[in-house]
Structure 1
């Protein structure tokens, strides 16, 4: 095979990812520019970047990186894999209208428009996955009053009725959870055997898509010391233990419930790939302590991977050019890996048949 043919084959087999510019008041523009400047990421995926050219160029200036992208209008672009990233210019925000370090209506409109555009591309099969640089929920609610979180927005935009869940991912371990953005006092009422079993199933499916063929899952208890035999609560005995037993009977490599204050230590020591926690902060605190600058948030359950860095918009350092690209890098690599594996399972190379 000639050198040119090998290069063409490499381009054709890269998964196509939409890269969404997030909140403009924070570090999203400079992170987007940094992602596009990293050769290892450009070799992992073909990017279709969604946003405003002026914002990207300002982000590149802040980050002190050079850009090499193909700028296109929103009515004239291709998602075919190519040597250069394609930037779809929605021309939807002038940097002069950005208030750096604040959540604003203009910023929320920019981020929601970009995200909506990318979601439709994924829904149409034109991209195999989506990554986005950080959003700000307050700004998103200014523009979209019903915005609770990304899961709610995706469900609304795509009329998605399936089960979607947020995962936090580090290199060595994932965190799944049975409940997410609800008050702590409501957690116990939302636990059931079926809910726990469904999370085990979805977690196993997502881990396999990420390349872990035989995933092992540790399940956390709800109460102190995992209830201590019923001394501090009965949820472990009545709900969690039976759910774990059902999951084992269905062939899943799952164990627990383990006390929440030691479950991550046990998981790392004993080679579990994920910890299933009962509520949001039970896992978030541990994950962010272990890798705040490398953590990834992944939305599982969709027909395509959807990934973002786990950190926020970092208003306090916006515009200084010091934003760490580590978590964004990991988000892109995870999305690319999952999209490529999903394409291979389907027996196709994305867009090569068009």
Structure 2
């Protein structure tokens, strides 16, 4: 049976260890105690074997899974859980709790492998444990994060926004990692409209038909008719009206200070905010320990826990695996839905 036939039978999730000096290896190890997170799919954990073994020791996990050094053999295996030893840069035992070029190089190597296998149709989704921006930079990346690096590697030019979910609520934003002083000029009818359409499209990827989306304003009290800013009148409101021609269940703009209350009370699935902290503060208050980040705009889906490498607690065995498990569950849903299988 060929790899392609295996893939048609059961989707494969490419799962990484994350930054070797952070909590990634230990939460990956602990996630093995939640087999329901990958029910109906195959999970291939990829990275340096000794880093994974260290993570298992920290987490107190006795991992029993087949390990491979050959990619083709790993993908041909019928095991629902397997490990692929992949360490082309020769990462040695890293120092816990700090960023390093060695960890960054290793993460970038794994990113390229996962991206290549995904576009080849050999794996169906990419779940990465937390990486560190400084490690990636020291390792040679000129981008602020993993997704942008992967996009350049694949030659993908389409823009996309980060999406976060805590299960019952999804969020995205028109602007992200920019100075707050730059936000107003970046909130245009075109940028808001593009974000709404992108959000609607990606929510449907997870089986949500006609998702209800609430769009936030930018200014206090939505600008109070232009007294405190014109973005709602000139850009956000017109973008919502235009979006309704395709996305039937989009409403707004809602005042930023109550949009999440409205979403909770009236059953909106998603909220489009205008800038990073406008949505992230609310999302993390509502479900920090459950949060997952999803990256769209690529030929394949990517998920990751909505937290960082947590160097301050790395190696102490206290990191929660819940966001990692949720990232796997979300990817499982995306992979099964894409193949028309029940999720």
* TM-score, structure 1 as length reference: 0.90
The residue aligned with 2:278 is: 282
Map 1:213-224; keep pairs closer than 5 Å.
213-224=209-220
The one of 13, 22, 37 aligned to 2:18: 22
Q: Distance in 1 between matches of 2:26 and 2:45?
A: 13
Q: Which residue of 1 aligns with 2:135?
A: 139
- Name the residue aligned to 2:3: none
1:310 aligns with 2:306: yes
Task: Map 1:140-219 onto structure 2 (within 5 A).
Answer: 140-219=136-215
CA distance in 2, matches of 1:320, 1:93: 27
Whether 1:121 aligns to 2:117 is yes
Secondary structure, aligned partner of 1:260: coil
Q: Which residue of 1 aligns with 2:57?
A: 61
Measured in 1, the distance between the counterparts of 2:229 and 2:294 equals: 32
Moved more, 65-74 or 53-62: 65-74
Q: Distance in 2 between matches of 1:242 and 1:51?
A: 47
Map of 1:52 onto structure 2: 48
Which residues of structure 1 form unaligned runs of 5+?
1-9, 350-354
Q: TM-score, normalised by structure 2?
A: 0.93
Shift of 1:45: 2.4
Distance 1:332 1:102 in 2: 26
Measure the CA separation in 2 of the matches of 1:42 and 1:65: 18
- Are residues 1:272 and 2:305 paired? no
Residue 295 of structure 1 is matched in structure 2 by: 291
Deviation at 1:11, TM superposition (A): 9.9
Q: Please name the residue that 1:37 is paired with.
A: 33
- SS at 1:255 equivalent: strand
Return closer, same or farther for 1:70/1:184 CA change in 2, 3 Å cut-off.
Answer: same
CA distance in 1, matches of 2:21, 2:74: 29
Structure 2 unaligned spans of 5+:
1-5
Q: Counterparts of 1:78-89 in structure 2 under 5 Å?
A: 78-80=74-76, 82-89=78-85
**Secondary structure of 1:333's aligned partner:** helix
Deviation digits for residues 80-105 of structure 1 (CA, Å, limit 9, x no counterpart) = 46234221111357786311111111
Cα distance, 1:189–1:74 mapped onto 2, change above 3 Å: farther
Count of residue pairs the alignment pairs up: 338
- Give me the whole-angstrom Cα distance separating, in 2, the residues matched to 1:36 and 1:251: 39
Question: 2: CA distance between counterparts of 1:246 and 1:308?
Answer: 32
